[in-house]
């Protein structure tokens, strides 16, 4: 089936340019041509004409840091809730949360943990099979971290210990890191996630200290590299970020307390940075008195105070910024994460064009999917979205996506 998409403004993401009055020709699920609208000759040969001449058209977006197991409730990560639900419950809910991301224009997502017993793999495969509509997914399975680390449970023995806590792979030493990575890939994960540092929402730690050793990180990353898979690391404190970069991680997630030396090392090594600025800002705007412990609330405020400055520093040093939001975290339900654009542009000082490329071209590179996605290019998959308004002038219009095509199929059309 041949479709003709008439575009008022077109941002291919290949460059920073915005092109006027362009046409995109889609055959089945492939972009066959992109040309000026004035060069069209016989439009009667098309099976469908999609008129987006009043819209800004761009590639389908990526969210490289999602949690499809949860949907923004402040207590969803508590042990009392997390261990009272079956993996099937998370899977069934997760397909709806992923669908909400698709409707917001995120045609590709990477899930980076919180799904017990590889429920994220079930969600990914159910969508890929056509059983449910949703974005294409990359999944990390069980996140690797140390006993007592960020995300480990707070249960007492004999319910807690090395091995697995249902949501995390709890490791100690390089051999266990290798085994945990192999188990993840055995059960269908297609990327690796590990905790290089402690975190903000953990009840009994500080986000600064390093959690895993260099040898543990490197051992796990090496297994991913054997399989041709990418890796990502929750990394907030300066030292842990630096060690994860030296260990060869593909992307740093959060990076709150990154220093200039590490940013320069990331440029040298080609390490990607997924900031997730929206997360702390949503919590600051919405948390109620007493909802978090005083210690956690103080960590949220500390992190929010410095995070945008860190991202700005890394951006201006030339670190490659990819788009990710931590969607599913407290007060950040799926489908609402495009606020990240506002924080990247307004608070971190990114050019709007670069913020759009972060969510398209750079994110596709981060996931190693840029051979078929991330830009509107002849021969790539037809993932195409549109917004009303000009995001170069007002980036907040990205919060209202009016048209979504994934793999050549229209999932959302609010032209009327």
pLDDT at 147 over 90: no
pLDDT at 7 over 90: yes
pLDDT at 382 over 90: yes
Mean pLDDT of 285-311: 91
The span from the CA of 364 to the CA of 361, in Å, is: 5
pLDDT of residue 235: 97
Q: According to DSSP H, which parts of 331-373 are helical?
A: 339-342, 352-357, 363-366
pLDDT at 158 over 80: no
Mean pLDDT of 370-384: 98
The span from the CA of 271 to the CA of 257, in Å, is: 16
| Token reading at 373 | 């996605």
For 101-116, how does the pLDDT look when each residue is reduced to its tens digit (9 = 90+)? 999 999 999 999 988 8
Q: Which residue has the tokens 């974005």?
A: 135
Compute CA distances 339 → 14, 29, 326, 345, whole Å.
23, 29, 12, 10
| Token reading at 210 | 């390093």
Mean pLDDT of 121-143: 97
The span from the CA of 302 to the CA of 87, in Å, is: 34
Over the chain, what is the mean pLDDT? 94
Length of the chain: 416
For 70-81, how does the pLDDT look when each residue is reduced to its tens digit (9 = 90+)? 999 987 877 777
Mean pLDDT of 135-139: 98
pLDDT at 384 over 70: yes
pLDDT of residue 337: 98
**Shortest CA distance to 17 belongs to which of 276, 413, 392, 408?**
392
**Shortest CA distance to 136 belongs to which of 279, 15, 28, 29?**
29
| Token reading at 128 | 């890929």
Sequential DSSP letters for 255-301: -TT--HHHHHHHHHHT-EEE--THHHHHHHHHPPTTSS-HHHHHHHH
| Token reading at 278 | 């929206």
Q: Percent of the chain, pLDDT > 90?
A: 81
1 and 47 in contact (C-beta within 8 Å)?
yes
CB-based contacts of 48, cutoff 8 Å, min separation 6: 1, 2, 3, 4
pLDDT of residue 191: 98
Q: What is the 3-state secondary structure (H, E, C) of 18-38?
A: CEEEEEEEEECCEEEEEEEHH
pLDDT of residue 83: 73
The span from the CA of 54 to the CA of 390, in Å, is: 10
Instruction: Specify the pairing of strand 401-406 against strand 409-413.
Output: antiparallel
Mean pLDDT of 170-191: 95
For 340-360, how does the pLDDT look when each residue is reduced to its tens digit (9 = 90+)? 999 999 999 999 999 999 999
Q: 37: exposed, middle or buried (C-beta count within 10 Å: 0-12, 13-18, 19+)? A: middle
- Chain-centroid distance of CA 185 in Å reads 20
The span from the CA of 376 to the CA of 366, in Å, is: 17
pLDDT of residue 416: 63
Q: Which residue has the tokens 């950040």?
A: 332
pLDDT of residue 308: 97
Q: Percent of the chain, pLDDT > 70?
A: 96
The span from the CA of 402 to the CA of 309, in Å, is: 32
pLDDT at 166 over 80: no
Mean pLDDT of 125-137: 98
pLDDT band at 401 (very low <50, low <70, confident <90, very high): very high
The span from the CA of 313 to the CA of 2, in Å, is: 45
pLDDT of residue 312: 98
223 and 204 in contact (C-beta within 8 Å)?
no
pTM here?
0.95
Between helix 87-103 and helix 119-128 the angle, nearest 10°, is 50
pLDDT band at 157 (very low <50, low <70, confident <90, very high): low
For 194-253, how does the pLDDT look when each residue is reduced to its tens digit (9 = 90+)? 999 988 887 666 788 899 999 999 999 999 999 999 999 999 999 999 999 999 999 999
pLDDT band at 163 (very low <50, low <70, confident <90, very high): low
The span from the CA of 190 to the CA of 121, in Å, is: 9
Mean pLDDT of 6-17: 98
Given CA atoms 247, 251, 253, 257 in this order, what sign does their dihedral have? positive
């Amino acid at each position: 089936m041949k479709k003709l998409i008439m575009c008022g403004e077109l941002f291919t993401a290949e460059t920073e340019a915005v092109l006027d009055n362009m046409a995109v020709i889609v055959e089945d699920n492939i972009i066959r041509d992109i040309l000026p609208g004035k060069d069209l000759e016989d439009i009667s040969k098309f099976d469908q004409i999609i008129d987006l001449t009043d819209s800004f058209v761009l590639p389908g977006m990526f969210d490289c840091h999602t949690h499809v197991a949860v949907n923004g409730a402040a207590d969803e990560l508590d042990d009392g809730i997390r261990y009272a639900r079956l993996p099937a419950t998370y899977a069934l809910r997760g397909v709806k949360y992923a669908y909400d991301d698709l409707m917001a224009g995120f045609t590709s997502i990477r899930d980076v943990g919180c799904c017990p017993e590889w429920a994220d793999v079930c969600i990914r495969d159910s969508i890929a099979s056509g059983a449910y509509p949703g974005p294409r997914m990359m999944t990390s399975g069980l996140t690797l971290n140390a006993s007592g680390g960020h995300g480990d449970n707070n249960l007492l023995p004999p319910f807690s210990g090395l091995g697995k806590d249902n949501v995390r792979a709890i490791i100690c030493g390089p051999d266990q890191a290798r085994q945990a990575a192999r188990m993840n890939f055995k059960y269908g994960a297609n990327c690796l996630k590990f905790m290089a540092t402690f975190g903000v929402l953990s009840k009994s730690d500080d986000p600064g200290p390093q959690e895993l050793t260099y040898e543990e990180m490197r051992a796990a990353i090496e297994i991913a590299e054997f399989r041709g898979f990418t890796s990502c690391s929750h990394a907030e404190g300066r030292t842990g970020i630096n060690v994860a970069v030296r260990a060869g991680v593909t992307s740093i997630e959060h990076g709150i307390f990154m220093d200039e030396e590490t940013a320069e090392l990331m440029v040298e090594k080609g390490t990607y940075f997924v900031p997730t600025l929206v997360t702390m800002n949503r919590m600051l705007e919405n948390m109620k008195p007493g909802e978090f412990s005083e210690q956690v609330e103080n960590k949220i405020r500390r992190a929010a105070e410095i995070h945008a400055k860190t991202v700005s520093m890394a951006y201006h040093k030339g670190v490659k910024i990819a788009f990710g939001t931590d969607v599913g975290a407290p007060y950040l339900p799926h489908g609402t994460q495009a606020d990240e654009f506002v924080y990247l542009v307004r608070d971190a000082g990114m050019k709007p064009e670069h913020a759009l490329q972060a969510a398209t071209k750079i994110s596709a590179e981060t996931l190693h999917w840029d051979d078929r996605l991330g830009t509107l290019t002849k021969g790539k998959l037809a993932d195409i979205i549109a917004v009303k308004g000009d995001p170069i002038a007002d980036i907040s219009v990205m919060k209202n996506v009016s048209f979504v095509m994934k793999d050549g199929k229209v999932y959302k059309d609010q032209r009327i």
